[in-house]
Structure 1
């Protein structure tokens, strides 16, 4: 039986290292990575990518575009973990749970764009609700999220973990120019007609995301309650392998979100919290920014693509 050749381009970054670790030792595929001396050699990289059945790009945006431009072998399939192609025509968005056809689209695709970490949580919460008409496509949304510092890539990890690194601040809020590169991706794939406000932050822990979206029930379509929002999410993700929807919380007991609760997994935990007396609802997502937010998602997409090859 043919063992597909999987080339990881950029396997020394946080995402690439994790993908390599998840695939290492498997007998159903062959892994190709380049030694240090060849990683920056355009000819050697082009040769590697054109020899692969599937290439996984763990690169900054511009090198990812260059890698795709170097493909001349029409059989090569690509999973791009950068943000270069997430809103591009001709690329399939790599969130299998987006709708009931998306996993099949990914399985057959030549070009798959892996979702961003923050967008994974925001889109997973919003897309089913917007599609069902329970949240308007032009609702004035604000999305807040805190991620482990590994979300800043290898450089951020080194800043926090290198010998002699300074003790980091508890939380650092950024993206204050309201122009974060993930916003067009969230808007497009959540089905929004207006740009949401996105306020990201890094915590002084390594990995894990807690993302929240607040809703005012008075601004929602008539008759939409927290119960209906929860029911829609529960129905959408019923039977999903990786996405769990927690029971509805109506403010009876104190609850907390731990961004590290599902670290080292590909799980995505969604929940709906509400205070009906105040007419307020909170949609929440907890997941590993290196798992379902990056490497785990890439491996999930790879599994779908490999299954379609047999």
Structure 2
């Protein structure tokens, strides 16, 4: 009988961990192991469970994730593979970046890696928009990029969720205005930018959903491409993909259409006569931006087919 791979979600009570568990709940090809809630912060109990599973998914704050990595490493040859959903290891060269659409060989790298860092929600869309343009030589690597983004409040952690759901938070707000958001390093590294981008995040009064926007003056790009040229380049890059697609531009765009899925839509909105374009990426900050992406990576790491969309009952 073929052994069913086992997964321990360290931090399964948080927003990301809960949605990963819900996505995996009805999959017979993987078994999810849980720790006694009373011992979820007990290092020895967690270490013992780590020794029994094939893969540990870390859904923890950065410092706690680093502590879990150390626990796993202390097991030596019995150490499980790790998938970290925190920010702690995303730019660490010893970890593989868990964005399968990053390059044609990235799924194989994820599949073979002992340690994978799940991408951040905001960088995912921006990287997928920018990297093909830089690789094609259309956008110089030192281009002054600005990324404007909006997310549902579920991406802000328990305190923000509580504030919005108790109606004590504003309907909309910009944040990270000190230009030191923790996602910037990841965004810059994996897009291929040599110049630090300006990143302006915001949050709205809706639970989940996300849009990244990148404005461009086309006469500042190499070859002065048209909006149609940019759309064709992106469409060719992501043709045949399971989750990322390039779709026609629209006059309006709302952020919640892809909620509870792992899909991501890229668009090029442009005006050729004005020489301007706006690149957008729409996805679920808890789907392709977090839990859906994690389940996609779990499937690659364990060599199994997975369901990345939440069951209807969980929507």
Same fold (TM over 0.5): yes
Residue 44 in 1 paired to residue 45 in 2?
yes
Question: Which runs of no fewer than 5 residues in structure 1 stay unpaired?
Answer: none
Give, in angstroms, the shift of residue 45 of structure 1.
1.2
State the aligned residue count.
301
Instruction: Check whether the contact 1:4–1:30 (CA below 8 A) recurs between aligned residues.
Output: yes
Residue 110 in 1 paired to residue 114 in 2?
yes
Question: Which runs of no fewer than 5 residues in structure 2 stay unpaired?
Answer: 306-315
Residue 198 in 1 paired to residue 194 in 2?
no
Residue 267 in 1 paired to residue 263 in 2?
yes
Distance 2:168 2:47 in 1: 41
Instruction: Check whether the contact 2:152–2:209 (CA below 8 A) recurs between aligned residues.
Output: yes
Q: Note the alpha carbon deviations across 1:242-296, whole angstroms, 9 max, x for none.
A: 011013x4xxxx6111100100100000000101121111000000000000000
Residue 63 in 1 paired to residue 64 in 2?
yes
Q: RMSD of aligned C-alpha atoms?
A: 1.4
Runs of 4+ aligned residues of structure 1 deviating over 3 Å after TM superposition are none
Aligned position for 1:14: 15
Residue 99 in 1 paired to residue 110 in 2?
no
Q: Which among 291, 295, 307 is matched to residue 303 of structure 2? A: 307
Give, in angstroms, the shift of residue 167 of structure 1.
4.9
> Given the superposition, is the C-alpha separation of residues 223 and 280 from structure 1 closer, same or farther in structure 2, using an over 3 Å criterion?
closer
Q: Which among 267, 292, 313 is matched to residue 296 of structure 1? A: 292
Q: Note the alpha carbon deviations across 1:44-93, whole angstroms, 9 max, x for none.
A: 11112232201100000011111111112435111100000000011110
Instruction: Check whether the contact 1:210–1:285 (CA below 8 A) recurs between aligned residues.
Output: yes
Distance 2:184 2:24 in 1: 31
Aligned position for 1:189: 190
Instruction: Check whether the contact 1:50–1:73 (CA below 8 A) recurs between aligned residues.
Output: no
Q: Which among 128, 133, 136 is matched to residue 140 of structure 2? A: 136
Distance 2:163 2:21 in 1: 23
SS of corresponding position for 1:105: helix
Give, in angstroms, the shift of residue 206 of structure 1.
0.1
Q: TM-score, normalised by structure 1?
A: 0.94
Distance 1:156 1:50 in 2: 35
> Given the superposition, is the C-alpha separation of residues 273 and 192 from structure 1 closer, same or farther in structure 2, using an over 3 Å criterion?
same
Give, in angstroms, the shift of residue 149 of structure 1.
0.2
Residue 152 in 1 paired to residue 153 in 2?
no
Distance 2:5 2:216 in 1: 46
Q: TM-score, normalised by structure 2?
A: 0.93
Aligned position for 2:227: 226
Distance 1:47 1:157 in 2: 33
Instruction: Check whether the contact 1:262–1:287 (CA below 8 A) recurs between aligned residues.
Output: yes
Give, in angstroms, the shift of residue 217 of structure 1.
0.9
Distance 1:221 1:156 in 2: 42
Distance 1:20 1:49 in 2: 17
Q: Note the alpha carbon deviations across 1:214-246, whole angstroms, 9 max, x for none.
A: 010121112322222111110110000001101
Aligned position for 1:84: 88
Distance 1:35 1:258 in 2: 41
Instruction: Check whether the contact 2:138–2:223 (CA below 8 A) recurs between aligned residues.
Output: no
